[in-house]
Structure 1
């Protein structure tokens, strides 16, 4: 019985950890402050979308025993399209992850700073943040442990505690259940469009598809394990969605009406939870969100690089460790030296806007290839749902591109 239970433990928590980062915490906080429960339906839609796409990516990884990056290299026959696809993936995932890693490290340090006060170290005109280096070092030590099992266990524990922190906060503010359920009724206003896109976009993350497919292939080797894969995926994504909703609920109850970051959320909750409780729950939640994303982003980027060039994806291999060090190191530099990689982030947003509909279309196509998937191809019902999901990713991609050029 014990061994049967362990079979359900897979990389799903890493997927949840990846999309619940400081950016998600901040977006959900702003959504709760500005619109209350009105956009909970968008988070519910994002959870459904994420489950469908992640299940297909995980199923492809299980059946083919390869990650999506390796499948792109081997299944796209035309040389021009193959190199275009690989180049786009590397641009969006690798450069994007390096740019956003700064936010992950900075967010984790922001949460820890509520408990530990390390003054910045001045070097001429530069100010080094010791907490950023501490967060980066913790992430690097775990990634260099050389064990996917250890990484999964640590992140699973962090995700569980992070979930308890945010969900407990949401319950403690005693939300109106009637208004809560009304928030799941879809409604779109011109004022909420950008926030709606941001909420869905922070959950449906392109690099998660690469991360999940690659790790599933390492965790399970037999297609008969598909039920474990699906259970692990659904529970983890739903839990991640509940955390996002809890942040929205908590933010709406707070008194901070000019929230610029999730750190302000604790101050706004002081009248409701008391200063100590607010500080404890929110600071730990933000720290966990930052450190978990700081671990998964370099890992996903390394899997993509190694998969695209057919290098070893063993976490102890030099290609993996070198790629991890590159992405984490760049993020640490951006975060610690106060460098704002605006152009890199803009480029990553643009590439992700193009990549999301292309990658989701590729995942759907791959999941229907009888030669690769055998009896595990998509059903007709799933294909119908997948087409609706693809239209959502297309809309998200277009809006992301328009946002980069400030046309919306």
Structure 2
């Protein structure tokens, strides 16, 4: 009854996940045929929202909080906006490449650049994902400890969440469950409202973008790199492009995919600012951020300053941020490994049909959880440097994506326009400078024996 301008495949050409995905596509076709725009957007939204809100993870929210507690709202509040603009530019390319080619990022790198670069990108992802997953469990542990939950129980709950999310056997079910969890990222906005920030200071920050803060250059550059790494990371490319393929988006859906990505970016920007505004109360009360770098430090420091409800909401937000990121980052790992190994890589496959896909999804999370339970880990330092690692490793992944998005052989007329290439080049430059400048200053300080 409904048709799309896509190549037809014979029944024998359809894989098991294609057959599952076809049920979702029928609903999309029905909504498009009836001209129902909001239902159509609802059906096609998901990858963009999840990748953006999933990147508002534990280390990201703690990076924003550390920025607010260290420097207030003047410089970093608008800077967060710049980083999310960069993230939207990058993720739009990942979405479009996935919708046009019907191939995940890892699979395309492997096919277009060869085995060496394919495995290089996969190993790059595995390293950053493993370190980042550790910090997600730290976020759950930190947030839960405010309510007296033992570390082992909070970490076990995070693992159980991953296991339960894999039981549906359908991408649609996994995505909707993850989106339901993502809605609780708005807890940071509620906490910001209850903390009663100064509207004049917020307006001034965006209107004038106040000068660079004074103090330790090394600390400032670490927070800059951490904020950049909080919005533009390798796992995001792998996840959104593969999720777009798993969801079944086609070139005709690119418009809705852009709206999905933009909406996700705007919501993530707002909640990231919320975390910064909540912690900026510590700056206003002259409470050094270095005094809250462990355990439930931020929440405990906020309780006497902003009240128990704000501290509790901040803690619950950390739990949600870590939990959602565990789902999305684990998924990006499974997608990438499946793609480069030419194995199953779809949530539309059942467990018995894709044991390696689900095994990698859960296996890396188990290893990360085990590391988190080791005693004596410097929690905030690990989270900040996890984002720094993502910043250092991101430029190579971004170059591959930019080349793919300009490859006419696979993209046809949907290659990047010139303006988008300039914007993407600017993002790559920002990421490279953020990581390099911090590394140089840290090295000089280490050689000269300076404190920072």
TM tier, shorter chain?
0.7 to 0.9
**Which of 20, 45, 54 lines up with 2:91 in the alignment?**
54
Tell me which residue corresponds to 1:158. Answer: 181
Tell me which residue corresponds to 1:126. Answer: none
Cα shift readout 1:192-234 (whole Å, capped 9, x = no counterpart): 2221121111111111111000001122332110011000001
Cα shift readout 1:55-95 (whole Å, capped 9, x = no counterpart): 00111011000111000011115xxxx41x23332332113
**Which of 297, 316, 319 lines up with 2:356 in the alignment?**
319
Tell me which residue corresponds to 1:284. Answer: 316
Q: SS of the counterpart of 1:183?
A: helix
Q: Give the RMSD, CA atoms, in angstroms.
A: 2.8
Tell me which residue corresponds to 2:22. Answer: none
Moved more, 62-71 or 151-160: 151-160
Moved more, 387-396 or 55-64: 387-396
Distance 1:235 1:348, change over 3 A: closer
Distance 1:307 1:399, change over 3 A: farther
Are the counterparts in 2 of residues 16 and 159 from structure 1 also a CA contact under 8 Å?
A: no
Tell me which residue corresponds to 2:264. Answer: 236
**Which of 43, 50, 62 lines up with 2:80 in the alignment?**
43
Distance 1:204 1:271, change over 3 A: same
Matches of 1:348 and 1:29 in 2, distance apart?
15
* 1:89-238 pair list within 5 angstroms: 89-115=121-147, 117-118=149-150, 129-163=152-186, 165-184=187-206, 185=209, 187-189=211-213, 190=217, 192-238=220-266
Distance 1:404 1:71, change over 3 A: farther
Query: C-alpha displacement at 1:407, in angstroms?
Result: 6.4
Matches of 1:304 and 1:352 in 2, distance apart?
16
Tell me which residue corresponds to 2:402. Answer: 364
Q: Which runs of 5+ in 2 are unaligned?
A: 1-35, 447-452
- Aligned: 1:23 with 2:47: no
**Which of 296, 300, 317 lines up with 2:328 in the alignment?**
296
- Aligned: 1:269 with 2:269: no
Distance 1:262 1:385, change over 3 A: farther
The structure that has the greater radius of gyration is 2
| Number of equivalences | 391
Distance 1:172 1:262, change over 3 A: farther
Query: C-alpha displacement at 1:140, in angstroms?
Result: 2.0
Are the counterparts in 1 of residues 226 and 388 from structure 2 also a CA contact under 8 Å?
A: no
Q: Which runs of 5+ in 1 are unaligned?
A: 121-128
Matches of 1:182 and 1:350 in 2, distance apart?
29
Matches of 1:349 and 1:32 in 2, distance apart?
17
Are the counterparts in 1 of residues 137 and 368 from structure 2 also a CA contact under 8 Å?
A: yes
Matches of 2:304 and 2:191 in 1, distance apart?
13
Matches of 1:137 and 1:396 in 2, distance apart?
36
